[in-house]
A and B are shown apart, each in its own frame.
Chain A
């Protein structure tokens, strides 16, 4: 385990009953590194990502993120999660709140900031993502691309040290994908440590420092973006790439 790693995963296992979904996954993510995770549907990518902030409780192995050993039963998981932003495929914006309140909710009730201070942070974050004019809109009135950018703003408002993306563009209409990818690319440019589960091979090629190929609950390939995507060694990865490209 590298002492300086932002994320350190060792022999991570997750089973649902007899169904072993993660069968011993180990990897590190260095600070400022962008790691893309690719792999066929059902290979355990989402489960692995949710184990990184303990939305799913691992059945074995250890997960250390931002200096906190999350798999330690004594860990303050809620506190650790404020350092780990997560963006979901289906946005999961709070439907009963307007955009501004979506972003301020955790600032107010976790960070315990006052309304004015929380709204100042939220407005700044929304402006940064080109969403300032939507502050008073309900999520249902926004396009998918706008909703996903609000979800990113909501995570970033907590000033996380690590950002997790689970197929953030998979639920979007094709013409809206590029807006969200642009935000993610810009975020990577600021030095944010990111783990990105994606089917966007172009994005992985361009932005990822490293790529992991998952297959059947295991890491089948792990290496630099160029070598994994450009010169796949295993037939499984070659087959997968030929299908998504």
Chain B
């Protein structure tokens, strides 16, 4: 039992490694993860739009991309890109493995994000596209301003899950070998473990990952709630309605505001079979 505690929770091991974990490791892990997430989101939205195209020839390449990058083990993709590209003379990031890791994790993330966004966009009632188009907005403008914002909101929990995967997969950069200053959490811990035959550094690194991933969930939940409820009434620009009641309390000129009314309207909207996709 003492051996067990000593192997995993050696206090001097932990305090010894913590400074480099917190200064160098956390920074590089976050750097890779954040850039990969942004890359994945941007490319994922684009892919989702292609997946939703009515043209087979547009859908097909996106479909193949998604199937390939979701189907490969992450470790294979990271190796192919981080070891393969430089060996083939393609070195956009020189010798820094971090750039290759960002691209590899980002490409994988994009494939998953594409499917998440696609389902989110499809969950938006077709009447929203029709309303946008009927006001003279183009298909793309309506997508950007009306459909995607609502679709994303519907899939925030799934996106959070993907962000967490991205943070964890950033550790695969260790495969590429890291120099001083480039090391991320896992690489540092694993080096220390190899030197001391003690797993406490890995435990410390694990805690650092949890410090990123667990708050991330709550941050997104908070954002989600905030977006659903709407921002509190702005005072700037609200000059035209000084007597505005607080949000949600609005029994206005039109008379009764019943939860029943709203519930019914919502349900009807979601089930409305309201014709084609209006992409004339």
Contacts and interface: CB of A to CB of B under 8 A. Distances in A.
B261 A143 contact: yes
A147 interface: yes
Contact of B244 (A86, A130, A136): A136
Contacts of B269: 90-92
Contacts of B128: 92, 94-95
A143 B241 contact: no
B207 interface: no
B3 interface: no
A131 B137 contact: no
Interface residues of B, number: 52
Given A136-B241, A145-B255, A98 B135 contact: no
B268 A90 contact: yes
Given A94-B146, A132-B241, A78 B265 contact: no
Contacts of B250: 133-134, 137, 141-142, 146
A117 interface: no
Interface in B204-249: 227, 230, 233-234, 237-238, 240-241, 243-245, 247-248
Contacts of A138: 230, 247
Interface of B: 125, 127-128, 130-138, 141, 145-146, 149-150, 153, 227, 230, 233-234, 237-238, 240-241, 243-245, 247-248, 250, 252-258, 261-262, 264-266, 268-269, 272, 274-276, 278, 280
A149 to B, nearest CB: 7
Interface string A106-133: 1001100000000100010001001111
Interface in A179-219: 179
A146 B136 contact: no
A106 B136 contact: yes
Interface stretch (A2-10, A49-57, A221-229): A49-57
Given A136-B233, A173-B261, A78 B255 contact: no
A106 B240 contact: no
B84 to A, nearest CB: 42
A84 interface: yes
Contacts of B241: 132-136
B247 A137 contact: yes
B240 A143 contact: no
Given A56-B275, A90-B268, A92-B128, A143 B254 contact: yes
Most buried by A among B133, B134, B153: B134
Contacts of B130: 50, 55, 86, 88, 92
A15 interface: no
Nearest to B266: A140
A147 B254 CA distance: 10
A81 B240 contact: no
Interface in A56-92: 56-57, 77-79, 81-82, 84-86, 88-92
Contacts of A151: 131
A92 B138 contact: no
A173 B127 CA distance: 20
Nearest to B249: A141
